[in-house]
A and B are shown apart, each in its own frame.
Chain A
């Protein structure tokens, strides 16, 4: 095994362990953990068998296999980021609704308390 291979294997295993640790600490939801775990497994597989990448690259006419890796990596990150933006938009929308809902409820509560106070001060006939 050559040095680059060892380094890349070590990195992928490190990421794998880190993601597992994040889930264990409840800092990462399983939904996202699955994505990152499968990514690191994918990288580990590529490291172990460089042949697979070469075959795949050559078969679609890419003569420098690492560029296929870069291409796939970039595309993957792009898709993940768009997905994150979608999630963020949804979250900010619900955050927004919650804040409004809270303001309306708080107002309702204040009104109710004020109304009770009035009826307590001036009991009806």
Chain B
């Protein structure tokens, strides 16, 4: 099975080496999607033998992950994992999210920090997470404990769907609803994560109000679209 690790990276020159070294053990290709970084991210990644996709300017996390997904889709990968460029995710946890997709029992697997055996998160993130959790359950019937997690595995059908429909900013939560409403099987598994190596979360407190509103609106509108408009997966 062809598998691709998609690493979205924006100015992660300090972290990217460790992340790629960590991924050496994983048996697939490594793709760094460089989202218009102004530092040496792309050069460092190339020198370590990773595939590199470079945006001409900054598109944001959604566009970055989607470029990786489109690459995987166009190059016929059977599955892809999303692996953060900041060192939060651990390569030794990949087998946990890949397993169900490999066996054909899930189309989208989310590595979760809150399930038993997972990792504790901050209070603001926790509250936001709970609200999204309820919204997702209401809109799609799925119970996802950690919907903002970016540690994911995409199966072939999901790659095809997200190559067409994937939100620009703050896509994690919305994409769960999109997938679930398109009839894909979304499953969550507990994983271990690290604290960040360096840098800070892309979601600051000031932005989090906008984040909540934007994602809520996106999901509600998504629900109003009906299945046929989402995609023919």
Contact = CB atoms under 8 A, between A and B. Distances in A.
A104 B67 CA distance: 8
Given A99-B57, A100-B59, A107 B52 contact: yes
Contacts of A99: 55-57, 59, 63
A107 B56 CA distance: 12
Contacts of A107: 51-54, 71
A103 B51 CA distance: 12
Interface in B89-112: none
B56 A103 contact: yes
B22 interface: no
Contacts of A106: 53-54
A11 to B, nearest CB: 39
A96 interface: yes
Interface in A82-125: 96, 99-100, 102-104, 106-107
Nearest to A107: B53
Chain A interface helix/strand/loop/mixed: helix
A99 B54 CA distance: 9
A74 to B, nearest CB: 25
Interface residues of B, number: 16
B66 A100 contact: yes
Interface of B: 33, 51-57, 59, 63, 66-67, 70-71, 74, 168
Contacts of B55: 99-100, 102-103
Nearest to A108: B74
A23 B56 CA distance: 31
A100 B67 contact: yes
B159 to A, nearest CB: 14
A99 B51 CA distance: 18
Interface in A69-89: none
A16 to B, nearest CB: 38
8 contacts: A96-B168, A100-B55, A103-B54, A103-B55, A104-B70, A106-B54, A107-B51, A107-B52
B196 to A, nearest CB: 26
A79 B95 CA distance: 53
